[in-house]
């Protein structure tokens, strides 16, 4: 028996298995790196929004324009890092471009969003990821409870107990910028900034160097939501796929 041939075959199988494992890890990482991610303002559904299809108050579903129906997303409130798993019910509902999604009141309450400044981060979750495997069952259970739960509860207050009202002090400053895109070369970023100046009336652009191979084009800062929304709409007319709103810290 030729032991050298056997040893060679055995080593080839081991090496091939290791290489396959590496490739699988690379593919999984690629899927995670390329998943949809966006930071911006959400539109919280209420009865006054007559032109938008109703979302039930206790629903865990959302409306989105880019993601496919039944996509699973993680929605996070960056202010407190609270998050919830939700389901995209439709991507055909029309709503203002300034908002990255339409949420139910229940989701807003779960995340403790400021309804005057409902800033969120949305990340799509690949169906084959371990995160979905752990959270999918929880999502279905929460959805079932939400559908059965009454909208209004009964609250009994003890009138003999005196409550002290705490005075809330708002020290937050409204300051956001629009992230246009990240570029590998600074010259490419400059070309994009020049194009925006030429095709819109936007002039408050800047290029931020994040690393030797990453340059970010930003518009802002904006100190009020109206001017932010106006510039966002102007940028949307240039057909950018994924404009983001970043909170300045």
Render pLDDT for 107-164 as a digit per residue (tens, 0 to 9): 999 999 999 999 999 999 987 665 554 554 455 555 555 455 444 433 333 333 343 4
Phi-psi region of 112 (alpha: psi -120 to 50; beta: other; left: phi over 0): left
pLDDT in tens, 177-214: 999 999 999 999 999 999 999 999 899 999 999 999 99
pLDDT at 172: 67
CA 238 to chain centre: 21
Q: Work out the average pLDDT over 4-12.
A: 51
- The token pair that represents 188 in the structure block: 């490419």
| Euclidean distance between CA atoms 184 and 186, whole angstroms | 7
Q: Which CATH superfamily is domain 37-124 in?
A: RlpA-like domain (2.40.40.10)
Contact 95, 121 (CB under 8 A): no
What is the CATH T-level fold of the domain 176-247, as seen in this structure? Alpha-Beta Plaits (3.30.70)
Contact 41, 75 (CB under 8 A): no
What are the domain boundaries of the chain?
37-124, 176-247
């Amino acid at each position: 028996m030729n032991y050298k041939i056997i040893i060679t075959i055995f080593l080839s199988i081991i090496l091939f298995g290791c290489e396959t494992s590496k490739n699988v890890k690379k593919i999984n990482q690629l899927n995670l790196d390329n998943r949809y991610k966006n930071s911006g303002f959400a539109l919280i559904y209420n009865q006054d929004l007559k032109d938008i299809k109703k979302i039930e108050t206790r629903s865990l579903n959302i409306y989105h324009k880019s993601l496919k129906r039944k996509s699973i997303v993680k929605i996070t409130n960056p202010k407190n890092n609270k998050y919830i798993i939700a389901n995209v019910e439709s991507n055909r509902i029309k709503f203002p471009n300034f908002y990255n999604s339409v949420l139910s009141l229940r989701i807003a309450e779960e995340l403790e969003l400021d309804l005057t400044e409902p800033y969120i981060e949305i990340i799509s979750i690949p169906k084959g990821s371990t995160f979905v495997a752990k959270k999918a069952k929880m999502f279905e259970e929460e959805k079932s409870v939400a559908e059965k739960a009454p909208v209004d509860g009964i609250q009994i207050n003890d009138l003999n107990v005196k409550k002290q009202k705490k005075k809330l002090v708002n020290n937050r400053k409204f300051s956001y910028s629009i992230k246009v895109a990240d570029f590998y070369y600074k010259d490419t970023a400059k070309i994009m900034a020049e194009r925006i100046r030429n095709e819109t009336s936007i002039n408050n652009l800047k290029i931020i160097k994040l690393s030797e191979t990453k340059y970010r084009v930003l518009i802002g800062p904006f100190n009020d939501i109206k001017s932010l929304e106006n510039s966002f709409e102007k940028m949307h007319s240039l057909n950018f796929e994924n404009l983001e709103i970043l909170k300045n810290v």
